[in-house]
């Protein structure tokens, strides 16, 4: 979020202490926000990664006899680490690093502060200011983590539901009862299954007995006996099939009801949490936000609220359902046969111990992998955010290699983890399959003792298995709830926090009249985040009502602080501030802010229309409830007063034009004028202008200044200005220094004291007026004509030779440019159409496998392993049928035979279990390794490719820094989600399905066909569930994204929201934005939950059908029991397994779209390819540096309707210093970008030494050029690393002497030597540890180390105050010696000595000449100078 804050402490390069950490230093703000967004992205990634890990563990189909109709019965998934660790992995360790200034330490890492700030507002001063070096921090990291987890304990389970109503609680309770009933249905099914088995076995025994006793003679009583047995079987089978049917229907109804109830209550709860959280955030005092990145609010609202919603919706009901299954299963088993139940329970401790060990080890390695991925993300974010700098210095490869290091480390950690995972899961499967062996071995003993029969053995064994598995299914649900508890802790901490300065409080006086007199009495102040840096040291002064006051002084002297204190963003530590004689602490806070209009340096507009933005100023005024037309009149009047009306009318939709996020679609001057209109629309008594014009060029500044002067009439106005020209007419000027008033008076009174601080400030900014006056004298003395022709000649020389073609071109030029643009546009649209089409999945999969072809052996073995583990299941069906047939052996004399047969089957089961373990290990370890390799490869390739893209690609909204960074992390992750363990599971499921059908058909074709006919029903159950559950989740997240955006926009502009008292307005809009997702959820839930419930009940019905038909066919003698059971288990349970394949469809669809996006990035061929080998190479020694721009037309590809350059021609002789000046938006910066070849002109050419730069090798050309931009970009690393990034040769070849020479030329050498570690001092993320002036000079050193022939300066000093500017300007003047230099400047004092000054207007050169020549012409340049002219008139 760009800083909406005033410069509370820009750092000065003089004796004043360096305070880069001023919470409102724009650089710091930028850093905070992106850090926080980063942070948000990392949290999301961490979630994704963890989801992938747990997902992988769940995905392994089990192959127990009855995998339940509950969808994927995964092996016990990695039991997620308890809540504490969950929160740890979310929040990266926050370590504090030493700031360059000895005075204060700044928590560099935004992430460090989230928990600290939330913890009931207590500041952790001790750790904040502990002066530790980064190295120590690394060691302290793990400790930090522990402290943190303890800082905010997760909330209790019941606290999650603190916002629910009693009625909701009542329904939720009913839902829980229903879910417990649904859970109990499964073990009860095994009871019926057991009873059916018993009746089948008994029937077979009767048939055997009859066959044996009658020895072939069929007597009537034998027939009668047989008939009785048949009737009995038919009766029992029918009865039990009906029970199953009834249970299926019951399960359907119970599931539907409880899913629906909990889904709705979860959604309501989450909406309330979101609303309360945003409201709480907006009422906090500003100091709270000094420690909180704007992106953090978005994270909390998007990620944490989403986690709370997930953990409070159906998850709780599912936990109760699985507990119901567990309890019912074990109770039933112990009731039927406690001996066998006890024996079978032996698998539980094994599964639990192995699962615990595995998840512990996995968590360790998972965290390692996440750490490195997070670091690579931070790096990517920094690099992509400054892509122009990266390309200008040609350092793509260096930075890509840094990125690759992090990625390789993460892949290494991930692979180690995957081996542990494979071992753990393989062991679990071994335990489960061995349980079969145990059941038949011990079951045989119990049957021979007469303590059980076949039905009881089957019933007990299956109940225990289903019960144990439900415990495994519990893990991910419990994890979701513990995540929700951890997330809720952070949210509730904010919701319950009562701020020191509470904007929501209704208390305080609201006087009827306001005169507007403000008094400061002995005010002392320091920022809460930096208690040892005093800002105001006992300030006493009075601002009289209706007068205009100006505050001037170096940065850090406390000017902006005065404004923040008047707005009551902070309270003074000592002393009082009074409004009309009343202490402002006694006034109602909202009322106070409604009396004040604030215009800050970088005004924040909200993403609505121009009119909407201005109307925000009416909140709380008497016009708040006025009719739309009345409001519009006020808005129009304010815009006319603010000089904004004219430009607004030129916008496409006039006042209803959307201004874009943070007003991005308007230029600086336009935004500033809309902000002024917003500040004056309610006619406030007090107007605060915090450097309202410093970010503008002279012409916009003139217009805005004009608007401000109009606005200040009759109000108490306090103005802060770096540019003294803007405050000449103030009633009183206060010069501040070191938190005190040094002197005060009018402009002329203060100038009278020539040694005073004010006079010095003015002298710093004075222009060469005397020289100008001389030139003007010459002009007036001469008769006028000669002077004019003289300057005409000067003007005509460079262009005279092309006067004629120019005339022709003027006629066609415009249409040519449009035609060229149309071609580009048509090509673009065609490309975009292509992009929308997803390439075929197969082609993409082939390409992915090919990318990862180095791992072909792993793929081969893993696939074999998957097929083998898939076949385990059908082969067990054969054993199962045979084992059940053995129970038909009756009579004590046969028991030996029975024992022998069952022992033999138990042995086979045990051997199968061993083989299954081996196959599973090979499958999981193989696919997991290849998945990590693929992920790493895709990440590296994508990053390298992104850095090569054309600059115009980054201009598109969808390729903003945040978006590209999160895609880099996210997309390969999703591809890995499909191509890792999941791929193995899919192969395994297919093997199970095919194998099961084949075995079924070969044993009992007819029954198998009936089973196979039902497969589509079961499979569709899985498909429906997916459609419903998963896709809904994605849709919900999308719908919530827009509301989260709204919230983060408000939080990012919290000062603006507070000063406009927009809190309630934002709450209202946000609440509305949340209604849409809620309605969608209600609508989809009813249908979707019904389908989900139906798919649950379906399995019962199909089993009932197959049993009943089987019974009839056994009665008719078509099948033996053995055949029947083999077919049943092979086909039906294979089909249930197959239904689970659909759990992977979401992985597949995500992977498809991600792979398509990745390949689009990899296949992109940039128009200007910095890595391309073709083109002429320049010899650095022979380059002169003569630059020409001839007849260039240009429009930005993202804004084809706006003409930026129109027939621009400039000639820059080698070694000369050229300045480009003109109003903002006239094409100056674009010209610099053309010279760096970030864009190519539509028409015309740019040449160096007579060669068109399009014909040159891009890298070779850029080596001759160096760029110093307005906001220099530094990267996290040492000072030395940042300077070396500019070098043309490999970093290790640059000598120490070269570095020192560059630094001396850049006036930064002495400063670097004064740092604790000299060149090896860390500069912090984005250079956050340095002040603006220091960063700028390091950027100059970086430009000089490549010894460029052409130096481009894009407003290199505009963001600095006068004192820093002087130092940097000296450095620039040194740097420009002997080089072709092209500079853009808003402050004309910095370029008056240029060889040529080009004055731009509307995208072409309006006039050019030296400073004196242009002044003499009295054209546009002369006007600019007059506007900036400071001296006493």
252 vs 1373, higher pLDDT: 252
Average pLDDT of span 490-518: 89
Average pLDDT of span 1231-1248: 91
How far apart are the C-alpha atoms of 628 and 626, rounded to whole Å?
A: 7
Confidence (pTM):
0.68
The pLDDT confidence band at residue 80, using thresholds 50, 70 and 90, is: very low
In this structure, how many other beta carbons lie within 10 angstroms of the beta carbon of residue 250?
Answer: 17
The pLDDT confidence band at residue 179, using thresholds 50, 70 and 90, is: very high
Whether the CB-CB separation of 761 and 1431 falls below 8 Å is answered with no
The pLDDT confidence band at residue 1138, using thresholds 50, 70 and 90, is: low
Two tokens at 582? 């009343």
904 vs 84, higher pLDDT: 904
Percent of all residues in the chain with a pLDDT value above 70, rounded to a whole number? 81
The pLDDT confidence band at residue 857, using thresholds 50, 70 and 90, is: very high
pLDDT score at 959? 83
Report in angstroms the alpha-carbon separations of 881 from 249, 528, 892, 1335: 29, 76, 23, 78
Q: Smallest Cα–Cα separation from 606: which of 27, 35, 4, 31?
A: 4
Residue 467 has pLDDT above 60, yes or no: yes
* Lowest mean pLDDT across 199-213, 569-583, 773-787: 773-787
The pLDDT confidence band at residue 151, using thresholds 50, 70 and 90, is: low
Instruction: Write out the H or E segment, with its range, that includes residue 1144.
Output: none
* Average pLDDT across the chain, whole number: 79
Half-sphere exposure of 472 (CA within 13 A, CB side): 37
pLDDT score at 553? 80
Adjacent-strand bridge partners of 740: 737
Average pLDDT of span 292-299: 65
Two tokens at 1063? 């809190």
**Exposed e or buried b for every residue in 1088-1124, given b needs 16+ CB within 10 A?**
bbbbbbbbbbbbbbbbbbbbbbbbbbbbeeebbbbbb
Cα distance between the two ends of the chain: 41
Percent of all residues in the chain with a pLDDT value above 90, rounded to a whole number? 23
Q: Smallest Cα–Cα separation from 43: which of 4, 91, 84?
A: 91
> Could you give the angle at the alpha carbon of 1271 between the alpha carbons of 1269 and 1277, nearest 5°?
105
Chain centroid, CA 1018 distance in Å? 38
For residue range 915-946, what is the model confidence (pLDDT) as tens digits?
999 999 999 999 999 999 999 999 999 999 99
For residue range 806-851, what is the model confidence (pLDDT) as tens digits?
333 333 334 566 677 677 777 777 776 666 666 777 888 889 889 8
pLDDT score at 816? 66
How far apart are the C-alpha atoms of 664 and 1201, rounded to whole Å?
A: 17
For residue range 383-431, what is the model confidence (pLDDT) as tens digits?
888 898 899 998 888 899 999 999 999 999 889 888 988 999 899 889 8
The pLDDT confidence band at residue 523, using thresholds 50, 70 and 90, is: very high
Sign of CA dihedral 832, 838, 843, 848: positive
The pLDDT confidence band at residue 193, using thresholds 50, 70 and 90, is: confident
Average pLDDT of span 1303-1310: 86
For residue range 4-39, what is the model confidence (pLDDT) as tens digits?
343 433 333 333 333 333 333 333 434 444 444 555
Average pLDDT of span 1096-1108: 85
**Exposed e or buried b for every residue in 482-510, given b needs 16+ CB within 10 A?**
bbbbbbbbbbbbbbebebebebbeeebee
Adjacent-strand bridge partners of 744: 734
SS3 297: helix
The pLDDT confidence band at residue 360, using thresholds 50, 70 and 90, is: confident
Report in angstroms the alpha-carbon separations of 600 from 366, 639, 1147, 1355: 45, 17, 47, 21
The pLDDT confidence band at residue 336, using thresholds 50, 70 and 90, is: very high
The pLDDT confidence band at residue 602, using thresholds 50, 70 and 90, is: confident
How far apart are the C-alpha atoms of 255 and 262, rounded to whole Å?
A: 11
pLDDT score at 1049? 77
346 vs 790, higher pLDDT: 346
* Lowest mean pLDDT across 624-628, 887-891, 1024-1028, 1176-1180: 1024-1028
The pLDDT confidence band at residue 860, using thresholds 50, 70 and 90, is: very high
Two tokens at 269? 């709860």
**Residue 1240: what are its φ and ψ, rounded to 5°?**
-105, 145
pLDDT score at 952? 87
For residue range 1266-1293, what is the model confidence (pLDDT) as tens digits?
988 877 888 888 899 999 988 888 888 8
Whether the CB-CB separation of 1368 and 1385 falls below 8 Å is answered with no
Whether the CB-CB separation of 790 and 1413 falls below 8 Å is answered with no
For residue range 217-228, what is the model confidence (pLDDT) as tens digits?
778 888 888 888
């Amino acid at each position: 979020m760009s800083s909406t804050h005033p410069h509370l402490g820009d750092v000065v390069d003089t004796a004043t202490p360096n305070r880069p950490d001023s919470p409102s230093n724009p650089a710091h703000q930028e850093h905070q926000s992106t850090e926080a967004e980063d942070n948000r992205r990392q949290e999301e990634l961490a979630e994704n990664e963890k989801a992938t890990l747990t997902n992988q563990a769940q995905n392994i189909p089990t192959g127990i006899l009855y995998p339940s109709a509950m969808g994927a019965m995964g092996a016990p998934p990695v039991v997620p680490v308890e809540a504490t660790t969950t929160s740890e992995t979310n929040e990266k360790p926050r370590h504090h690093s030493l700031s360059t200034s000895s005075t204060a330490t700044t928590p560099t890492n935004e992430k460090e502060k989230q928990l600290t700030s939330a913890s009931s507002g207590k500041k952790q001063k001790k750790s904040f200011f502990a002066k530790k070096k980064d190295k120590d921090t690394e060691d302290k990291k793990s400790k930090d983590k522990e402290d943190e987890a303890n800082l905010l304990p997760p909330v209790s389970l019941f606290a999650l539901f603190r916002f629910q109503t009693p009625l909701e609680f009542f329904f939720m309770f009913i839902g829980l009862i229903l879910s417990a009933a649904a859970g109990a249905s499964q073990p009860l099914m095994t009871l019926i299954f057991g009873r059916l088995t018993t009746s089948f076995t008994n029937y077979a025994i009767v048939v055997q007995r009859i066959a044996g006793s009658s020895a072939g003679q069929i007597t009537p009583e034998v027939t009668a006996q047989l008939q009785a047995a048949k009737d009995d079987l038919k009766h029992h089978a029918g009865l039990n099939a009906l029970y199953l049917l009834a249970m299926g229907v019951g399960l359907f109804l119970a599931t539907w009801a409880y899913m629906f109830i909990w889904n709705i209550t979860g959604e309501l709860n989450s909406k309330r949490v979101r609303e309360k959280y945003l409201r709480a955030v907006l009422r906090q005092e500003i100091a709270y936000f000094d420690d909180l990145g704007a992106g953090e609010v978005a994270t909390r609202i998007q990620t944490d609220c989403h986690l709370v919603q997930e953990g409070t919706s159906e998850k709780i009901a599912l936990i109760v359902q699985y507990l119901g299954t567990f309890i019912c299963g074990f109770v039933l088993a112990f009731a039927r046969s406690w001996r066998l139940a006890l024996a079978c329970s032996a698998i539980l401790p094994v599964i639990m111990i192995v699962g615990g060990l595995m998840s512990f080890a996995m968590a360790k390695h998972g965290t390692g992998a996440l750490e490195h991925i997070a670091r690579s993300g931070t790096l990517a974010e920094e690099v992509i955010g400054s892509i122009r700098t990266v390309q200008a210095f040609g350092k793509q490869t260096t930075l890509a290699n840094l990125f690759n290091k992090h990625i390789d480390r993460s892949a290494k950690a991930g692979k180690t983890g995957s081996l542990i995972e494979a071992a753990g899961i393989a062991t679990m499967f071994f335990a489960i399959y061995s349980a079969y062996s145990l059941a038949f071995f011990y079951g045989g003993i119990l049957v021979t003792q007469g303590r059980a029969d076949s039905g009881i053995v089957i019933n007990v064994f299956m109940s225990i298995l289903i019960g144990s598995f439900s415990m495994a299914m519990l893990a991910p649900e419990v994890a979701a709830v513990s995540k929700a508890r951890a997330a809720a802790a952070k949210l509730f901490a904010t919701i319950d926090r009562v701020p020191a300065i509470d904007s929501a409080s209704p208390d305080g006086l609201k006087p009827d009249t306001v005169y507007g007199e403000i008094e400061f009495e002995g005010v002392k102040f320091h920022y809460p985040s930096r208690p040892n840096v005093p800002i105001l040291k006992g300030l006493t002064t009075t601002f009289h009502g209706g007068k205009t006051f100006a505050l001037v002084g170096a940065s850090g002297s406390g000017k902006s602080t005065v404004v923040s204190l008047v707005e009551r963003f902070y309270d003074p530590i000592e002393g009082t501030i009074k409004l009309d004689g009343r202490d402002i602490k006694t006034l109602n806070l909202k009322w106070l802010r409604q009396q004040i209009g604030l215009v800050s340096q970088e005004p924040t507009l909200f993403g609505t229309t121009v009119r909407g933005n201005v109307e925000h100023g009416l909140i709380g005024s008497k016009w708040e409830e006025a009719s739309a037309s009345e409001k519009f009149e006020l808005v129009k009047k304010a815009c006319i007063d603010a000089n904004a009306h004219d430009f607004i009318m030129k916008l496409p939709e006039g006042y209803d034009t959307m201004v874009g996020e943070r007003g991005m679609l308007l230029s600086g001057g336009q935004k500033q004028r809309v902000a002024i209109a917003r500040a004056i629309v309610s006619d406030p008594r007090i107007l605060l202008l915090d450097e309202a014009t410093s970010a503008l060029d002279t012409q916009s500044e003139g217009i805005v200044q004009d608007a401000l002067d109009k606005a200040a009439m009759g109000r108490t106005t306090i103005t802060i200005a770096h540019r003294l020209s803007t405050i000449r007419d103030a009633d009183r000027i206060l010069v501040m220094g070191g938190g005190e008033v040094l002197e005060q008076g009018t402009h002329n009174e203060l100038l009278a004291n020539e040694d005073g601080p004010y006079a010095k400030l003015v002298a710093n900014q004075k222009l060469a007026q005397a020289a100008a006056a001389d030139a003007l004298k010459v002009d007036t003395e001469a008769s006028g004509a000669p002077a004019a022709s003289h300057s005409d000649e000067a003007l005509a020389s460079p262009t005279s030779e092309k006067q004629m073609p120019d005339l022709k071109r003027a006629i066609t030029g415009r249409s040519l440019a449009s035609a060229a643009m149309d071609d580009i546009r048509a090509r673009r649209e065609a490309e975009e159409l292509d992009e929308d089409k997803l390439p075929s999945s197969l082609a993409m999969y082939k390409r992915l496998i090919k990318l990862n072809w180095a791992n072909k052996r792993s793929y081969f073995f893993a696939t074999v392993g998957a097929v083998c583990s898939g076949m385990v299941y059908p082969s067990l069906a054969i054993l199962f049928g045979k084992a059940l047939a053995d129970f038909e052996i009756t009579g004590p004399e046969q028991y030996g035979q029975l024992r022998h047969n069952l022992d033999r089957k138990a042995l086979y089961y045990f051997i199968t279990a061993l083989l299954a373990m081996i196959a599973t290990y090979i499958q999981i370890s193989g696919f997991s390794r290849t998945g990590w390799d693929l992920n790493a490869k895709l990440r590296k390739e994508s990053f390298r490719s992104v850095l090569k893209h054309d600059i115009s690609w980054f201009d598109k909204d969808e390729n903003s820094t945040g978006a590209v960074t999160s895609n880099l992390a996210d997309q390969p992750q999703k591809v890995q989600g499909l191509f890792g363990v999941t791929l193995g599971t899919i192969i395994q499921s297919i093997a199970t399905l095919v194998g099961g059908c084949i075995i079924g058909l070969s044993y009992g074709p007819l029954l198998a066909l009936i089973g196979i006919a039902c497969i589509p029903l079961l499979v569709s159950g899985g498909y429906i569930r997916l459609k419903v559950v998963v896709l809904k989740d994605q849709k919900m997240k999308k719908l919530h994204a827009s509301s989260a955006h709204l919230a983060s926009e408000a939080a990012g502009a919290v000062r603006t929201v507070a000063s406009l008292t927009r809190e309630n307005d934002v709450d209202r809009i946000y609440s509305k934005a949340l209604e849409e997702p809620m309605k969608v959820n209600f609508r989809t839930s009813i249908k979707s939950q019904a389908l989900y419930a139906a798919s649950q009940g379906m399995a019962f019905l199909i089993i009932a059908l197959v049993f009943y038909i089987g019974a009839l066919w056994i009665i008719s003698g078509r099948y033996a029991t053995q055949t029947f059971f083999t077919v049943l288990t092979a086909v039906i349970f294979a089909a249930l397994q197959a239904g689970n394949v659909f759990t992977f469809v979401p992985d597949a669809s995500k992977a498809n779209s991600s792979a398509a996006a990745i390949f689009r990035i990899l296949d992109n061929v940039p128009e200007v390819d910095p890595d391309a080998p073709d083109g002429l190479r320049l010899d650095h020694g022979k380059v002169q540096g003569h630059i020409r721009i001839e007849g260039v037309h240009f429009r930005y590809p993202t804004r084809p309707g706006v003409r930026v350059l129109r027939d621009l021609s400039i000639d820059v002789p080698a070694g000369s210093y050229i300045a480009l000046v003109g109003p903002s938006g006239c094409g100056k910066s674009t010209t610099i970008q053309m010279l760096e070849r970030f864009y190519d002109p539509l028409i015309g050419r740019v040449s160096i030494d007579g060669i068109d730069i399009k014909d040159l090798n891009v890298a070779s050309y850029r080596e001759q050029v160096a760029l110093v931009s307005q906001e220099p970009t530094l990267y996290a690393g040492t000072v030395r690393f940042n300077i070396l990034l500019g070098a043309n040769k490999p970093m290790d070849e640059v000598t120490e002497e070269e570095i020192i020479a560059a630094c001396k030329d850049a006036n930064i050498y002495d400063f670097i030597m004064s740092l604790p570690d000299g060149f090896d001092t860390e500069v912090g993320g984005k250079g956050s540890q340095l002040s603006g002036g220091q960063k700028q000079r390091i950027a100059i050193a970086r430009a000089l180390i490549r010894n460029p022939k052409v130096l481009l300066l894009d407003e290199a000093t505009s963001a600095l105050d006068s004192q820093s500017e002087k130092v940097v300007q000296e450095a620039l003047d040194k740097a420009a010696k002997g080089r072709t230099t092209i500079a853009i400047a808003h402050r004309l004092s910095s370029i008056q000595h240029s060889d040529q000054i080009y004055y731009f207007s509307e995208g072409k050169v309006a006039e050019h000449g030296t400073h004196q020549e242009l002044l003499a012409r009295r054209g546009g340049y002369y006007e600019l100078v007059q506007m900036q002219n400071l001296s006493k008139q």
